[in-house]
Amino acid sequence: MTSIAKPPVKHPTARTNGRGLTLRDYEGAMSTLCAGCGHDSVTAALVQAAWELEIEPHRAAKMSGIGCSSKTTAYFMKQSHGFNSVHGRMPSVTSGAAAANKGLTYIGISGDGDSLSIGLGQLSHAIRRNVNMLYVIENNGVYGLTKGQFSASADIGSTSKKGEANEQAPIDPVLLALTLGCTFVARSFSGDKQQLVPILKAAIAHKGLALVDVISPCVSFNDHEGSTKSYAYTREHEVEAVHADFIPLKREITVPETGEEVRVVEMHDGARVRLRSTATDYDPTNRESAYAHVRACQARHEIATGLLFVDENGRDMHDYLKTVPTPLVDLPFEALCPGKDALGKLMDRYR
């Protein structure tokens, strides 16, 4: 992927995190996306989240497929590992990488085209395996990179720039993820950094696949009147059911009390997510009510955002596979390949 490096200039008074790194240290190459593209705001939120979580850049791997959205991985955490796969294959490549090395933080970035058409099977099985990763879909309702054809997330009646209306039913990644048993499901908006950053932090801390669908408008092909993925439409129709505050393990709880009902979900590393319900009777730990809420919002032409569902007790891919605690990549050759005799005994069990 071609990219333009940013000049390595740091302001002497720039704030550092616990690892002595500034926000600039979590940035990547200069973006070549269109000015105003929602994807660049998602990049800024990812930079902020990774800086606040104090992730060691060399302990993270950024994974992507093909699309303007998939170029996002070039624009943050320049010192991290990265793999730009072929179209729609990001989930499978990440599953393989995570199987070999469970010691890295996996950040997968995809688009609605990349994930909901050619990559739909890959996404479904990564959810089913509960691969330990953040899975961001930068959702703009079109194939931006190939000049704005409707994607599978386009709503019925949403119009193209030339005025043609989409007639086919959309695939909603949030409903799909809830149906497939995903253990962390959220939706946000690239124009709402205040909501997006804590969601990304909680998603990264989650053990298992955390799907974050981000409405991320394409200013060149899908930001006009008649589009249901424009900045204006999303701002007008966004309904946040549950607001998440992420509190890392070592920090004191300083989030002000609001008088609203607060639920605390403890993440597997001891960090906590405080969920403040802004809608009455909404339970973000109940899959059925999350599904019903998203469907009801759809029927009212509203966009359900916030942390919609979380289950911290789910097993992830390594639990299912019963792998040893040490990442496979760190095991000595003798442990990975126990020799002909051991292999022979193993084969005998299947005869």
Question: C-beta of 147: minimal distance to ligand SF4 in Å?
Answer: 8
Helix axes 38-53, 193-205, angle to 10 degrees: 50
First CA to last CA across the chain, in angstroms? 49
Closest listed residue to residue 39, CA positions, set 190, 177, 257, 251: 190
Rounded distance between C-alpha atoms, residue 141 and residue 216, angstroms: 9
Q: Look up residue 197 and give its amino acid.
A: V
Give which of ligand TPP, ligand SF4, none residue 134 binds (C-beta under 5 to 8 Å, depending on kind). Answer: none
Give which of ligand SF4, ligand TPP, none residue 114 binds (C-beta under 5 to 8 Å, depending on kind). Answer: ligand TPP
Question: C-beta of 261: minimal distance to ligand SF4 in Å?
Answer: 38
> Distance of CA 87 to CAs 84, 162, 192, 220, 224, Å?
9, 27, 28, 21, 27
For ligand SF4, the binding residues in 50-89 under the rule CB under 6 A are 68
Q: Is 220 in the site for ligand SF4 (CB under 6 A)?
A: yes
For ligand SF4, the binding residues in 24-43 under the rule CB under 6 A are 33-34, 37, 39
Rounded distance between C-alpha atoms, residue 109 and residue 103, angstroms: 19
Question: C-beta of 216: minimal distance to ligand TPP in Å?
Answer: 8
Among 23, 45, 46, 66, binds ligand TPP (CB under 6 A): 66
Q: Is 221 in the site for ligand SF4 (CB under 6 A)?
A: yes
* Options 93-101, 136-144, 201-209, 273-281: segment touching ligand TPP (CB under 6 A): 136-144
For ligand SF4, the binding residues in 103-162 under the rule CB under 6 A are 140, 144-145
Closest listed residue to residue 117, CA positions, set 158, 173, 75: 173
Backbone phi, then psi, for 247, in 5-degree steps? -120, 105
Closest listed residue to residue 304, CA positions, set 175, 190, 164, 120: 175
Q: Is 28 in the site for ligand TPP (CB under 6 A)?
A: no
Beta carbon nearer to ligand SF4, 42 or 126: 42
Rounded distance between C-alpha atoms, residue 83 and residue 72, angstroms: 12
Question: C-beta of 219: minimal distance to ligand SF4 in Å?
Answer: 4
For ligand TPP, the binding residues in 151-180 under the rule CB under 6 A are 151
Residue with tokens 């943050």: 76
Q: Is 218 in the site for ligand SF4 (CB under 6 A)?
A: yes
Binding site for ligand SF4 (CB under 6 A): 33-34, 37, 39, 68, 140, 144-145, 218-221
